[in-house]
Amino acid sequence: MHTFRQISIGENAKNAVTVGIERNTSGSTVAAVWWPAHGDVDGDEASYDSVPEALAAAKAARALHGFADVVVTLQSDDLWDPQWGRLAGAQALSEDEIFELASATEAMRDA
């Protein structure tokens, strides 16, 4: 079962593909997938009527474009279905983010 890292709405996930899950006006759960410009890859966004389809597209985009992670943002916490995978808390960092944070800390110490 895949584990996805949850981020807050509006949080910048610069080296990740983001899946935003929300309830539309008719009450159905829908999702959007987006990513920022990264290297030679342009930023993009697509909407899906199915969360599993959106998660599969996000995983494919991560692999195709070389992003470090797939992250999830939820309109409300009750929208997550455990059948889609495990959702790690917003405070969890990816390995790349941990490395970036450690590198920045060391650079500040050396300055």
Q: How do 3-6 and 69-74 pair as beta strands? A: parallel
pLDDT block averages, 10 residues each, the chain of length 111: 91 92 95 92 94 97 94 94 88 59 64 56
**Local structure of residue 59 (DSSP, 8 states):** H
d(CA 87, CA 6): 6
Q: What is the pLDDT of residue 105?
A: 63
pLDDT number for residue 14: 83
Provide Rg for the chain, Cα atoms.
15
- Minimal CA–CA distance to 38: which of 16, 23, 19? 16
Q: Are 72 and 52 in contact (CB under 8 A)?
A: no
Query: What integer pLDDT is reported at residue 26 of this predicted model?
Result: 94
